[in-house]
């Protein structure tokens, strides 16, 4: 199990006494507190949060998910992880565990299904391979984007933007930014702009449309879209928002 999760520490883990491994694993299973369970396992040599969480998953799959880099990337992209809880810390693991449990309840999926879906999104989830041969020949590209809230307008109205992250925007047909584009939402067309942020490594669509005469948040609401992942179809300088994506839909891309 440890060799699969973090193979570089295998030699250290092999120095653990077998009886001690059994004792600590049993103690972790019987402990009542989540953090206590984790830290009991971390007392084993060469066992960090990633391996300890994997052991907890196999002990109690209805309570714990595997602490994974790709899953954290997806949660971070979605704005679900706080800045103070990133990395390998007890606080980060507790927040991660809470969020996976919340998503499991919300989508009526197992913890493992949620974790695999988020893993798949970060590793394979751009959608660049989803267009069939005919669509690719016509110059169409399918990518994943995220509707985000960067702040509020004056008056407290939520402001929204659309972001396309680095591994996805590399598939776009544009070489220079900003790009004037036509955004299509449920057959309504809006004049929009696609910009590029070097600091955040994203392509993004600002909050205003039609030369600041309309707001993206209103257009999205009218089309039935909310914050979160969406699938976009891009052909030339026209961008369609096709559908809102759920954890279940993202998970199908894992081979």
**Last residue of one domain, picked from the residues 70, 105, 123:** 123
Check whether residue 152 and residue 247 sit in a common domain: yes
Cα separation, 107 vs 137, in Å, equals 36
pTM (predicted TM-score)? 0.54
Half-sphere CA count of 47, side-chain side, radius 13 A: 24
Give me the CATH number covering residue 162: 2.40.330
Q: Using the 8-state DSSP alphabet, how is residue 68 labeled?
A: -
Overall domain count for the chain: 2
Q: What is the pLDDT of residues 134-152, one digit of tens each?
A: 343 345 678 888 888 877 7
Half-sphere CA count of 129, side-chain side, radius 13 A: 7
Tokens describing residue 3 = 């060799």
Check whether residue 79 and residue 175 sit in a common domain: no
In a domain, 63, yes or no: yes
Q: What is the pLDDT of residues 53-91, one digit of tens each?
A: 999 999 999 999 999 988 888 887 677 887 655 567 899
Torsion sign across C-alpha atoms 174, 72, 146, 245: positive
As beta bridge partners, residue 71 has none
Q: What is the pLDDT of residues 106-135, one digit of tens each?
A: 989 999 999 988 887 776 556 544 444 434
**Last residue of one domain, picked from the residues 123, 145, 171:** 123
Check whether residue 45 and residue 6 sit in a common domain: yes
DSSP assignment string, 103-168: HHHHHT--HHHHHHHHHHHHHHTT-TT-S-HHHHHTTEEEEEEEEEEEEE-TTSPEEEEEEEEHHH
Check whether residue 97 and residue 194 sit in a common domain: no
The whole-number pLDDT of residue 4 equals: 55
Cα separation, 107 vs 248, in Å, equals 8
Cα separation, 139 vs 13, in Å, equals 52
Check whether residue 119 and residue 141 sit in a common domain: no
Cα separation, 93 vs 114, in Å, equals 16
- Judged against a pLDDT cut of 60, whether residue 249 lies above it is answered with no
Average pLDDT of the segment spanning 158-169: 81
**Last residue of one domain, picked from the residues 95, 123, 151:** 123
In a domain, 128, yes or no: no
Q: Which domain does 27 fall in, by range? A: 2-123
In a domain, 163, yes or no: yes
Average pLDDT of the segment spanning 160-179: 81
């Amino acid at each position: 199990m440890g060799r699969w999760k973090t193979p570089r520490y295998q030699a250290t883990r092999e120095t653990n006494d077998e009886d001690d491994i059994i004792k600590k694993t049993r103690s972790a299973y019987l402990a009542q507190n989540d953090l206590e369970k984790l830290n009991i396992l971390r007392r084993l040599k060469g066992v960090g949060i990633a391996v300890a969480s994997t052991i907890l998953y196999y002990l109690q799959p209805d309570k714990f998910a595997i602490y994974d880099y790709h899953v954290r990337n997806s949660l971070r992209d979605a704005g679900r992880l706080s800045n103070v809880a990133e990395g390998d810390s007890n606080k980060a693991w507790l927040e991660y565990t809470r969020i996976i449990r919340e998503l499991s309840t919300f989508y009526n999926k197992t913890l493992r299904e949620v974790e695999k879906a988020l893993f798949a999104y970060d590793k394979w989830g751009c959608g660049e391979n989803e267009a069939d041969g005919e669509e690719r020949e016509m110059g169409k590209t399918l990518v994943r984007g995220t509707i985000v809230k960067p702040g509020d307008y004056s008056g407290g109205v939520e402001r929204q933007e659309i972001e396309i992250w680095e591994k996805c925007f590399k598939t776009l047909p544009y070489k220079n930014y900003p790009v004037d584009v036509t955004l299509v939402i449920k057959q309504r067309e809006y004049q929009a702009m696609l910009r590029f942020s070097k600091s955040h490594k994203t392509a993004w669509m600002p909050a205003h449309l039609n030369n600041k005469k309309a707001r993206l948040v209103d257009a999205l609401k009218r089309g039935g879209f909310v914050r979160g992942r969406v699938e976009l179809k891009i052909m030339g300088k026209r961008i369609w928002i096709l559908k809102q994506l759920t954890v279940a839909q993202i998970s199908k891309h894992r081979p």
